[in-house]
Structure 1
């Protein structure tokens, strides 16, 4: 089973490292939010701005400004004896200086929020440390508040301007940078979406991407570049970010970028197919193909029944194989299963067209039987002195495939048939047996047909069909299926929804459409297995297990 589980690759390790970095950044963000949420409002409990991490100065300052100065308007301010007269802070002074004046209840003194956040160290200018650390409490001298504010160029007013600039997001440096990043990101996504649209169109139409001459002076730069240029000419937002209007390193037109988008499209398409198929039983169809370099390729199609009862066939890829013998194809199919997370337990059959070019066919069991038969005949011939023994003599052989152009290869094929005639005859008998079993299965499947009010229905044949699918129907399931088939038939013949159906495909869709696939789950499972298997219902090994 190791081949069905992927080992952790370097890419996955990199992804894991990236995830750890993301987690670390998320942790730092949470820590910052905790600091900002717990900033003390009371000036007596605040620590100096310089004591915070320099990287978060701006966030701390902005959060304090959003909270506003500490102004306990409803507090009963105490009286203090000053020059023989009792004086106290007057709450209306908050209205005269709403942006910066704040009061510390603990020592009955006022402070300046703006200077706390932005005042530089300029000695006693602006009142020294009175309005930032010590506090001002000379209630007799209200003019001291005006003196602190000072003239237009005072330290206090500069700090006030800094506060206003910080709260004005359009002027804030961080906001400017953020807007630039958002603009660059928007331009990038616009161009990327345009490139993706071009790739999707060319893939859907099966057209080539590259051109013979893709230089700017070329009259035809290839389908991809020409299509992107056409799109830019008819879309101002794309034109503003494409070709010469895009940075030289972010034009998204290079062949590497095109291949990346194509690969991403292939991955997303396969993921969509696998998601649609889910855990449904499926059938694999394999055919032989060749490219322009005459390399042997394996084309693979998956057939399954979706959740709407519709038979779906999806092409899932072309893969290079060294040869089209059973071993090479098996290894390629194993890799396909592993790469796409397919489970062999859901495989219900295999179909091969040109992919099996010798008589051994898709079955490894038949190949082994042919090899064993041939070895026994060689040993017997050597024992009877009918063959010469020696180096490089009597090597293992198989039926040769005739070449496409060389007539000498046909002669070699005839010689191989002569040398393996008896073994070939035996295998031919096995093929006949396989065809008989397959024919029986087709007759059983015909009993599911809804034509003419299920006139072909035969309960015994359907029970026989269920026995062929040992993975899906246990002996107990087969016994319970007999009664379920009677109930199923009675309901189907009495329901007008099924009176005009033709073929088992329309039957499956109708069952799902009206929700009867859940009521008759066992019969629907049998129906989907028949639809998935198609004409080539089971592999030889499955037939051997079912008929033994």
Structure 2
């Protein structure tokens, strides 16, 4: 189990640091809680000082009765749990692929396609050669421009449910390499030596050149494109609650706009793609006939009803439903109160009553008595009048910039209660990207040559590898001096 700490330093900047890894015998909530406590105690840290916790969506973590977050909150009431936003988004994308029949069909066909054309180095090289020829022809015809960073080589990697953006990358690359893939399938289908792959290529080609496949892969590309910005933003270690909630809102609005008013433009995009690649476009008023699937499993409807209602609206509604349900956490009140600290547009979101309510959620920092609340109320009024008149606070983009500006202008001492509210808001974790990177880094640290290293050595190597920006400040002389002072030695190093 990996553990990262999120804190605000004395300059008002939010930081996430890797604390260490712990070997756990099982993944029960009690075992994980004991492991966290032991690691914190090792560094003289107390669980009572924790003001936020975030994990992925596993039931042993977020369980309401015996989950890890519940066990910790039973002891530390103010250690509010924020479900990892990035996992919420990734789970939403996976749910679409698993709960919708047409999405399942699409990704099954993509899996078969990747098995055929990505199974050997020869076929991947074939893709590169054909792709290069297409780019040269397009440059000669003036269809594309040349320049630095343009016309990069595309690959066909497999999508993974735990890798952010992998589904979007796969469908985008398949769409970009459509003409190339058709030629590769033609070559494989014409090769009579390898009969198994020849039959598979012919079968996949039939589906690959259907309007339904083109429609589905463009639809998933559009949906993933709308959600990709949110997905990438949540991987940033300095992301705060306000920015995260803003991206969630924009993502929902983008999907809703596409659902209500985007069908006509989307159909035009798909039809133009089909015309360019010689894919037959069905008449929308005709009855729907499935390609490569039995008619018994489909209702007798028109093509327009099939593609508009059963696919387009159905898939987007599933996305919106999942987004609304997964971001509707019990602590939404906490997030709404935190958003009132947002400095954008001259602190337009400022709401004194909600900020007073935010203070009530942290009784240890803000004792619920009339004196404390009265002092906070007066301080909030002076604070908002001051920062709105100060030009230095006019162009701030988030709570993290507000925190650093308060320290820079020394106003954090003048408005110490407000600054405490800001710090509490910043340490709430919105994503577990830092923890995920720990496990990704293990493949570099504990490789085949060093596979037998113990837990302590692995932990020490990971700390130096992940926090190398800190260790780069340590000179070699300091290391030698520390090592020399650990034990009396016969000679100096």
Shorter-chain TM range is 0.3 to 0.5
Tell which has more relative contact order, 1 or 2 (C-alpha 8 A, sep 6+). 2
TM-score by length of 1: 0.30
If each structure's helix is expressed as a fraction of its own residues, which one has the higher value? Answer: 2
Greater gyration radius: 1
If each structure's strand is expressed as a fraction of its own residues, which one has the higher value? Answer: 1
